[in-house]
Each structure stands twice: as C-alpha cells, then as structure tokens.
Structure 1
Amino acid sequence: MKAVSEGFKVVLTAEGATASDTLGASVAGFISALPDSYIKPLIARTYFRVKSRNGIAERAPYGLAKVEASLVAKGVVSRDEVVIASPYELDKVIGSNTRVLGIYVMDPLGLSFGSGIVYWILKLAGLPYRGIPFIARSFLEIFTNPAVKAHRNHMKIVVGGPATWQLTDTGYHRKLGVDVVYEGEFESLGPSVFSRLLRGEPLPPVVSAPPAKLEDIPTILTPANGGLVEVSRGCGRGCSFCTPTLSGAIKSLPFEGHIDQEIRVNIERGGMKDINLHSEEFFRYGAKGIEPNPEKVIELTRKAYRLVKSYGDEYTISTDFTTAAAVAYRPKMVEEAAQYINEGDRRTFIEMGIETGSPRLLRKLMPGKALPYTPEQYPEVVEQAIGILNDNRWVVVGTMIVNLPGETEDDVIYDLELLDRIKKLRVITFPLPFIPMGALRHTYFTILNKMLLDPVRGQFILEALSKAFSEAAADMDMAVEKMENPFAKVIIGRLGKTLASMLVKRYEEAMSELASRRLKVPEVSESYTTLRTTAY
C-alpha cells in the first residue's frame, strides 16, 4: 500500500449512489433519483454505503470493474497502480502520484428515465419536489471533494458510462473541467485513451468508441455490486433510442475461462450469495441471429447453477433482462431455465422493455423488437410472454416509453389498450419519459409537465404508475430480500410497502383530477435551475 501522500496512478470511482450496493439489494438503488432534499447526509452514507478498506472499494459497479480489468489486462498499469475507490474516501487514494481520475456515471445531471419517473411519482402524489436528484448531487460532490481539488493540477479527469450524453449535450463537461468524456464500450479504445493521458498526450474532449471485440473483454478483478456477471452484450434488435443497440449483434461470452471466473470472484472475494447473469437479452445467449438458441441458454444456466451450488445450497442464480418476443417464441426454454433460477417456489424479478403497444411506432423506431413476430402481433406477444414468465415465478418489471419521436394520441391509446391487457398479470409497469436530447438544456421540467397535462398521456402515466405500485406493494419482500442487514430488511420492507400503498391511493384520487385538467404545473426547483445554468 502506497503512502497516502503518494496516491495511486489511476483512481476509478463513481457517484455515491452508483458506487453503492444499497445494503446488498441493488434494486433498492431506485431511490437515488429522489431529490436530495429527501436524502439527508446521514441517510445517504448509511443507505448508499460503499464497503471499503483504506478507501478501496470491496465491491464496485460492474462497468467500473471492467474498466479496471481492461487497464490491467492491456498493460496500461500494473495491478497495484490502479484502484476502484469509495467516493467518500478519495483522500485515502488520491495523492501526488495520481495522474488520472476516472468517474463512472449512470445519471450525472439527473436527466435519466429514472429521475423523470420519480418526478412524476412525487408530482402526481402531491409531494414536493425540491432540490436536484440525489444521484446528480453525489456526482457533483466528486468535483468539490478536497482531495480532487488539491491534486487537480496534475490529474486528468475522464468521465464514462451510459449517461455521458447528459454532459455533452448540456455542455456540462466543459463547465466541470472534464478533460475527456468517453462514450462507448471501454475495451475498444479505453486502454489507449488512458495510456495517452498517462503519457501526457493531448486528446479530444469527447472520444466515441466502437463496439469491443469479444476477445478484448476481460474478466473482472474486483467483485461486482449485485453479483453481476455479464454473459452477453448487445442484442441487434435495432431500437433507435437504445444504448445496447450501439453494441451491434449479440456477443455471448464463454462459460469456461470467463463467466465461471467472474462467478468465483463474486463469491470468493465479494461474499455474494446470488449471482446475476447479466445481459441485454438473456434468452438469446448463444444465438447467431434473432431466434434464441435454447440449447446454449440451458447449458449456460445449468453450468452456472452447478457452480454456485458447489459453494452451498443457499447460493442462487438470477438474471435481469429479456424481451417479450424471445420468451413467447420459446416457452419451453423459459420453463427449463426457471427450474434452475427459480427453483422450488423462489420468485425473482426480470426486466422487459415493452416500450410501446403501437405497431406504427414499432415499425418506425424498433424494427427488430417484435421479431420473429410482426408489429401488429406485438401486444398479444407481450401479454403472452408476461404470462409465461409469471407461470415460471418471475415478476416482470415492464418499461413503457411516453413521448417517443413522432408519437400521436392514437399511439398512446394503443399503450392504454396494452396496459389494460396486462393489468391482471404480475408486472410492474413503469412509464419512462423520452426527452429529446436537444430539449434538455432549459425545458426538462416543462416537457415532463406537458406529458402529465396532456389528457391521454396523463391518463396513461397515472394508470401505469398505479399498476406499478400496486404490484410493488405486493412484491416488497422480494425487493429487499438480498439486503444483508436483517434489521434494515424488515424496516425498509415495511416502509416501502406502506409508501407504495399510499401512492396507489393518491394516484386513484388524482385520476379524476387529471380528467378535469385541474393539475397545476409546479414551479421549477430553484436549485435545479441553478444546476442547469451555472458553470462550476
């Protein structure tokens, strides 16, 4: 261990909300989109804890763990020259020897889908919205950290992650003094970018990287929050607004020598009891095209199950993402995989990007979403797929997007009809606001309010949130199941169920108010306006 005054050559970190494992239950990180007025410092440090030793994180966001592994695998730095640090203890790892600070971001300015949903949740429940999203506040605090300010003159700052567009579109990367914004998969150009920075070579302010080659993706060295293990990357369905589309066709990572190694790292070094087999579309692991390859999916699931069970009966596997089309097309594959993932009477969550019920928007913006089905068949496919997943003990988190480019009232009516089809199924229907990037600078709240005040869109948002929190109240025990502190599990579980039930009641009351168009547009938070317009 180097002396504190020296620091490490490369320090990697993330905003506190992203760096945290949220008491062991990553799904509970949703509250990071709440305004910072709701999350006081003591609550933040307790709920958004980062387990660390001498400032070095014991677990890390998966994307950040991949960055660290890539730098070491490509020989950019040695293993003892790079650390993933707790954002709360940067003074222990940044020093005179530090040359690059890498910051991983999920929602740096609070402009993501998640922050928009939370705005709607509070607004429609009649609760005040003051301040800026906590996740944005925790990002900005990195730049005002005393250790960062003290060593800024000899340290380059690189920001990367799935939400860097928020910085480049608003110009905030310049206002914050970010040296390089890295967009795209790190393994392709990231190591060379860091090498050039360490050599003192100039770089453009924004680097856009192509998809990485499969052979360039390393295995993680630091255990991942949530026990994440990437099994495939990309999907190839071609949705015009989706980040995984940039990765191109699906790339499936091998089990032997890669997936199995990451499982062991997460269990042996990270102490994880559940391994999350992460992908953009789990049921197409091993596929060469759109159609699933059931043999490969079941082989992966069986091997992962047997490996984790070798550590004890209490160890489990999960997965996180799927599409409706893959599930509906190969129901027997889903049933067989569930025998390993949801063994016995175990239930888990799985996310499905439903996005829209409109055949016209599917054809225009998501040409591969319904394949091998047609856009006209898609609503029925969604209903069937959720039913299949429910039958196999999955509760679906289904996202639906409002304000897609070119969306008309007729398109939203299709969404309402789809919502009605699935209302009796076990699905948490989250409405996501689509905000055109060019409109972000000064009109974020205005656009969100316009969606609420539109009679048809407002009705859809209310109905979707009402269904979402009705289901969430019933599933709160699942949401907190992985929390490692039994006391926190009980308290947060009960509080969450109470709040979810309260929100449902308020949404039901708001339905008639919306119909009479009496909802008032709130004043935009002064502190949020400051964030949007003031240079740091």
Structure 2
Amino acid sequence: MNGGFPIVLTADRTLMSSYFGGMFLGFSSCVPAGFIPSPLYYKIFSPPVRVDGRGAAVFAPYGTRKIESALLEYGFNEEDVIITSPERLRRVIGPNTKVVGITETDPLGIGPATTTFRGLFGGLPLMAWEFLRTLLKIRLSGFKPKIFVGGPGAWQLENQEIRRMLGISCVVIGEGDTAVPPLIEKAFRGEKVPEVVYTDPVLLEDIPLIRRPSVCGLVEIARGCGRGCKFCTPTLKLFRCLPVDYILKEVEVNLRSGSHDILLHAEDVLRYKAKGFNINKEAVTSLFQAVKNFPGVEFVEISHFALSSVAAAPQLVEEISDILDLDAKNWLSGQTGIETGSPKMAKQHMYGKCKPFSYEEWPDVVVQAFEVLSENCWVPVSTLILGLPQETEEDVWDTIYLVRMLRNFKSLIVPLFFVAMGSLGEEKSFTLSGMKPAHVELLFECWEHNFKWLPALVREYRGVKSLTRRRILSLITWFASLFARQIMHLCREDYGNNIQKFISDYETGKVRKGILRFTKFYDRILKTVTRTQNKIARPYLKFEEFWDI
C-alpha cells in the first residue's frame, strides 16, 4: 500500500520471532545488547518472523493478534490493519498511517530478568535497545503517526517525562481487547487521546478470537491468577477460564500456518476451571486430550504452572504426561515460581501461592512438587527472587538450603532481583549494591545447579531442531560454564563473596586469572558496542541515569 496502512501493529525485534519453535529461547533477549554479537544472536536464538508480499507478519505475538482481532470486530477494515515486523515498518508506514501500536514486554529493560542481567554484566538490555530501534524506525519513516504502547511491560511507561521523550501518544496498561479500538477511533478522528489508560479485566464473551497464527502456536486458556503475590502484576487480574471450544478454534487458526505444535498459556495451566484452589482434574485432562487429539497437532507445550498445584494433584501431572506421551528425552517444560525458601517470606509476600498448603509447608511443597515433576518427565524453569522487602540473611540461607535440595532434579533455577511493582510498587528495587555474601552464595548455587543440567537440556530440547544450531548452543553453554565457574571460584576464595569488589576489580583489569585472561578482547568489543548504543540513545532519550548508562 503506497500510502501506508492506517493502523500498523508491531512489537520489538526480540518479540517478533518464532525462536525456531522454542519459546523459552526468547528469555535470551534479557541479556545486555552486544553480550552476544547481534548477527550471531539473531541467527542462533531469534530469527525474524516471515512476512508476506504486503509486509504482513505470518506469525505475531499473541497479544498483538488479540488487538488485531479486536480492531476488526470493532469495525475497522481488513485492508486498514496490518501487523508487521520492525524491519518492514518503513515499508508499511505512509501518509495514511494514523496509529502505530507496539506490544512490549520490557520496553525500558527494568523487569526482573533484565534488571538482574544489567546489574551483573552492565550495558543496555537488548529488549530496551530493540524498543528504541523500533521507535527510531517509526521516526525515520518521515511520518508522524500517533504511537500507542501496550502489553505486559506497559507499566514501565507510566512516567510522563519518559513517554514524552520517547514520543509516545498513549500507553494502555492492562487488557486492551475492548479499550484499544475506541482509543484508536479517537485518534482517527483527530481527537485527543489520554496519555495513560488503565483498563479493567475483559469479560470472557468480549475476548476476541485470533484470526491469524501466533508465535510458537500460543493459545490462551485462562487469564489472571488470583493467588495474590504482592510482587507480581498478573496476580492482580481476575481469574477467568476460556471454554474448550473457543480454545480449539484458536488451535485451528495456528495449524493453518503449517505449525504442528501448540503452546497452552495460563499463569497456571493446572488450575484450568478450578474452583478456588481445588484442582479440577477432569477439566484439565479433557482440555489436554482435546488439544492433543485435534487433527494436525503433534505436540502440546505449556507456558506456566504452580508448584502448589503440582503437589496438590500429582495424579493429574501423571495423566497429562500419559496424554502427551512424555519420556526422559521427550519432556515437557514450563515456567514456575519458587521465589523463596523462607516460610516467613512466603507468609509475608506470597501467602496465596502456597495454597492449598500453608506457608510453613512451602519448602516441603517445592521439594515434593519437583519430585512429582521429575517422575513424570516435566522440567521446571523456576524463578527465585533476591532482595524481597524485609528479607534477612536467615531468609536467604533458607532459600540456599532449598536450592541444594533440588540439585538432583533436572531443572533450571533462575535468580532474579526484586523489582518494585504490583502492590509492592512503593518499595525499593533490589540492586547489585545491596547484595550481601549470602545473596552471592545463592546466586552461585543457582549457577551450579543450572550448569549441571544445561548440557543435557540443550541436547534434548525439541525447540532446537537444527543440529548445527544445537552444537553452537552447546559450545556457548560450555564456554559460559567455564567462565562462570572461574568467577565463582575467585569470588568465593579471593573476595569472600564480595561481588561488588570483584566486579570493580574485573572492570579495571585487576582480575585476569585462568579463562578470564582471554576475555579482555571480548570485553573491549562489548564496551565498544555499549558506547555506540549509548551514543545513539542519549540524544534520543536524555535520561541516561535511568539505565545507568
């Protein structure tokens, strides 16, 4: 379309990818930009989505697909709306373009994962860098459409100064299915749109069906959580479950693209149609059977589950494993939260996460759940939170002991810095400067756990289908393991887990032992990349202190 599409939807480059069918490879975008050279990173981890002759993305993030459907159901014409990749923005934006909508997970790189990587390794987070590049491409188009931003990371753009520096017209925080179309209609009419819009949960009957395939065949089965963890935002949403026939319609949409894998998404797939915290085994097994037996489906994956649900319904986990024909090499993975090994912290910050068990039982619940998962060929990707408000050294050591108890279960444990959001938005976020020796020991315990299991997981992960790509990932894992083990040894033995002093000495060249002697050249490259990015970002943003750049 020579004049451009009136409504252009997109997401940053890290989100507009199929990740070769391995959704969990997407977490690699939390690292600092340049940490892995961009050509290699996008070749190995994150290929661009395919586009058709018009410039429309064949696959797109699920949330972006929902907005596309919502706009069409509201009355906008098919020829007026397009979802495209960032690389094609200048091709589809023109004088007729009124609105560009961007889906973002972590636009400023201040989410838990990016904050942790930035704190440890420095540099501008890749997600934030790609968000800036997306905005820059819109500007370079030579036109001035209104820019709308939504998605899980929209809360990061509440600050008026940041929004205006970025040139963002409207930020939608919350579910946009019913809120976004009227806002875009206002923009079409030339009316003023509010800079920030907070939305309410959407009724089930108002959630539109996606009309085109989503990245990795993702299909939503439930929204919200309802467990009430203070440090989280999904927990604030009303818990709702979509009917099976609705889910199967979206499965069919994804299969049209030639994909054969379906990823079921919920904050806890095991609570599908649950009554409170009482698991509805029949509903969950019926759902998995219906999806697995749908013509064309070869494998069913999941996004998230709760450890308390696993411990409460071990037979359900076994039944799902039977339905999906899992075995030791053909396992199922999903993200879950341990967060802490301290009953005191569990009581204070995540009382509902333990249900139907008590907070005193939380460490035992975690171990029991890991045992059930291991027996049934599930591989949890678990998170821990460092620096929760009012956390003591004793609480940290409780978590260390728990991590050690999990060492023999095939899994990953990802330590994250606490980020002030949700109902703890007024608290102070945790940073590198606040790390005590116990925090460092917990970090290293997680690293040791992960490097024990990563080689096998890379070999077996079905999301990596190319042998060459698998070998490169294995090589990266091997080198990272050597590098991390050298860091752990030196930091423990020579610095007494004083990681701040260790990093300071490393950056000034005082630490060059073992494999660290060979990282000097790589450091120079990374610093050159970072300086170049900062040079571009500074005149564009003018608030360097926000990212410490």
Scaled by the length of structure 1, the TM-score of the pair is 0.88
Q: Which amino acid aligns with 2:316?
A: M
Aligned to 1:69: 69
Number of the residue aligned with 2:252: 264
2:134 alignment partner, one of 125, 142, 154: 142
Deviation track 1:445-474 (CA, whole Å, cap 9, x = no partner) reads xx532243x111121112122212322232
In 1, Cα distance between the equivalents of 2:109 and 2:542?
10
Deviation at 1:132, TM superposition (A): 1.2
Task: Identify the residue that residue 12 of structure 1 maps to in structure 2.
Answer: 9
Paired residues, what number?
511
Provide the residue aligned with 1:23 in structure 2. 20
Q: Is the 8 A contact 1:348 1:478 kept in 2?
A: no
* TM superposition shift of 1:68: 0.9
Does the 8 A contact of 1:355 with 1:401 survive in 2?
yes
The equivalent of 1:507 in structure 2 is: 488
Contact 2:118 2:124 in 1 (8 A): no
Cα contact 2:382–2:413 (8 A) shared by 1: yes
Q: What CA distance in whole angstroms lies between the structure 2 residues aligned with 1:354 and 1:28?
A: 21
* Structure-2 residue corresponding to 1:311: 296
RMSD over aligned CA atoms reads 2.7
Aligned-residue sequence identity (percent) comes to 32
2:195 is the alignment partner of 1:205: yes
The separation in 1 between residues aligned to 2:368 and 2:12, in whole angstroms, is 39
Distance 1:73 1:477, change over 3 A: farther
Map 1:125-204 to 2 at 5 A.
129=122, 131-145=123-137, 149-152=141-144, 155-169=145-159, 171-204=161-194
Tell me what 1:126 maps to.
none
Distance 1:39 1:422, change over 3 A: closer
Q: What pairs with 1:234-245 in structure 2 (closer than 5 Å)?
A: 234-245=224-235
Q: For 1:336 and 1:494, how far apart are their aligned partners in 2? A: 36
Residue 391 of structure 1 deviates from its aligned partner by 0.7
Aligned residue number for residue 376 of structure 2: 392
Q: Shift of the alpha carbon at 1:508? A: 4.2
Aligned to 1:329: 312
Among residues 357, 365, 372, which one is paired with 1:381 in the alignment? 365
Q: Where does structure 2 lack aligned partners over 5 or more consecutive residues?
A: 508-526
- Checking the alignment, whether the CA contact within 8 Å between 2:495 and 2:502 is kept in structure 1 is no
1:288 to 2:275 alignment: yes
| 2:244 paired with 1:255 | yes
What letter matches 2:249 in structure 1? Q
Which amino acid is 1:304 matched to? V
| Residue matched to 2:110 | 111
Deviation of 1:219 after TM superposition, in Å, equals 1.4
Relative to 1, partners in 2 of residues 1:170 and 1:375: Cα closer, same or farther, differing over 3 Å? Answer: farther
Equivalent-residue separation in structure 1 for 2:272 and 2:173 (angstroms):
25
Q: Is contact 2:3–2:94 with CA below 8 Å preserved after alignment? A: yes
User: Cα offset for 1:135?
Assistant: 1.5
The one-letter amino acid of 1:27's match is F
Distance 2:234 2:306 in 1: 13
Deviations 1:37-92 (A, max 9, x none): 335453465444221123211101111111111111222x1222111111011122
1:37-116 to 2 correspondences below 5 Å: 37-43=34-40, 46=43, 47-54=46-53, 55-75=55-75, 77-116=76-115
Structure-2 separation of matches of 1:146 and 1:157: 9
What CA distance in whole angstroms lies between the structure 2 residues aligned with 1:30 and 1:532?
A: 28
Cα separation, 1, equivalents of 2:494 and 2:206: 55
Structure-2 residue corresponding to 1:533: 543
Give the letter for the 2:59 counterpart.
R
AA of the residue aligned to 1:420: R
| Secondary structure at 2:14 match in 1 | helix
Distance 1:331 1:78, change over 3 A: same
CA contact (8 A) 1:90 1:147 kept: no
Q: Describe the SS at the equivalent of 2:354.
A: coil
CA gap of 1:16–1:437, structure 2 versus 1, over 3 A, is same
Change (3 A) 1:286 1:437: closer
> 5+ residue gaps in structure 1?
124-128
| Contact 1:458–1:514 (CA under 8 A) maintained in structure 2 | no
SS at 2:397 equivalent: helix
Deviation of 1:144 (Å):
1.5
Deviations 1:73-128 (A, max 9, x none): 222x12221111110111221111111100111111211222133336x64xxxxx
Which letter does structure 2 place at the counterpart of 1:512? E
Select the residue among 270, 290, 297 that pairs with 2:284.
297
* In structure 1, distance between residues paired with 2:80 and 2:248: 26
SS of 2:351 mapped into structure 1: coil
Partner of 2:401: 417
Please tell me the residue identity of whatever aligns with 2:340.
T
Whether the 8 Å CA contact 1:214–1:251 is kept in 2: the answer is yes
Residue identity matched to 1:284: R
Instruction: Report if aligned partners of 1:65, 1:221 keep a CA contact under 8 Å in 2.
Output: yes
1:469 alignment counterpart: 451
Note the C-alpha offset of 1:532.
Answer: 7.0
Query: Taking structure 2 as the reference length, what is the TM-score of the superposition?
Result: 0.86
